[in-house]
Amino acid sequence: MRDPRYDEWRKQGKTTRTYFAREDFIYHEDSDEYVCPNGKILRFKTKHHVIKGTVYRTYHTQEQDCRGCTLREKCLTGKARSPKTKCLMIPIGPDGINLTKLMVEKIDSEEGRKIYSHRMKIVEPVFGNIRINKHLDRFTLRGKIKVNIQWLLYCMVHNIEKIMNFGYSFA
């Protein structure tokens, strides 16, 4: 349970909205359409539009509906003002398996806590040494193949230092 003082802090930061939100559009289930605050219809266009693992349904107006609209400044924001029509995106769910949530559940399990505590002793010091002591804290190349090669070079530097400090073993 969170400290109730944080709830008061959150309320202080609230400001009034200057743009229309999804809640301001009225949905007609029978025709699968939305109506904007100015009374124009947004028709269904795309069923599966995926952004960052979330599937969206998109609804668009016609070009002539938005052209002379008096509420255009409150409806379309920033980069969205350049298109000629309003696009409303409605999230309908995650795109397949959410790997981040699965990993959180795995780490939070009893077995996961036990395994992760070993990782903190074995693997994390290697990352800390490479990043802090060797100052190899960013990749200077682009692309998966080049970054992978650069990471392998970082690991070689770490392993050469281990051989230098502790000797080579034939075990």
Q: Which of 5-9, 69-73, 76-80 is predicted least confidently?
A: 76-80
In the sheet with 33-35, reading across from the earlier edge strand, the strands are 26-28, 33-35, 41-51, 54-60, 87-94
Average pLDDT value over all residues in the chain:
79
Percentage of the chain with pLDDT > 70? 82
Kindly report, residue by residue over 121-151, the tens digit of the pLDDT: 788 888 888 888 888 888 888 999 999 999 9
